[in-house]
Amino acid sequence: MTNIQDRISEIIEKLGINQVIFASKLGVKRITITAICTKRQLPSLELCAKIVLNYNISAEWLITGEGTMFKESGEKELKENIDDSTSIVEDETGIKKRLDILEKNLTESIQKIVERIELKK
């Protein structure tokens, strides 16, 4: 018999996404999802509601394990939502990488300016 934490892990696996994407769509930190999936924490009622609404999960299945995981008619819509979530997280990652590169370039430029100033002294 599975518990709610196992069912949340199963949702993530069935969706083929990672905890970062799952958490991002729900507006929580990845560490919260990790704590739930490793059975160190139970999900709040608010989080359960977000899972049901954002991932088209049957509330009955999530809470009790009875019935089917997905609400009827939702798998196509769910796939579109997952694709949107994935691109948002990938965009954030890309932006961070670009900012890191810009910061490195700026640091190098500042160092060159400082060296030129020192040479003029």
Q: Which domains does the chain have, with CATH numbers?
A: 4-86 (1.10.260.40)
Cβ burial 77-111 (10 Å sphere, 16+ → b, else e): ebeebbeebbeebeeeeeeeeeeeeeeeeeeeeee
Residue 115 vs residue 88, higher pLDDT: 115
* Percent of the chain surpassing pLDDT 90: 45
The pLDDT, as a whole number, for residue 50 is: 92
At residue 41, φ and ψ (nearest 5 deg) are -150, 145
Number of residues that this document lists for the chain: 121
pLDDT score of 1 more than 80:
no
> Per DSSP, what are the bridge partners of residue 70?
57
Cα pseudo-dihedral 99, 101, 103, 109, rounded to 10: -150
Q: What is the pLDDT of residue 2?
A: 85
Q: Whole-model pTM?
A: 0.62
Q: Give the residue among 23, 2, 1, 3 at the shortest CA–CA distance from 12.
A: 23
DSSP codes, 22-34: HHHHHTS-HHHHH
In this prediction, residue 62 has a pLDDT band, given cuts at 50, 70 and 90, of very high
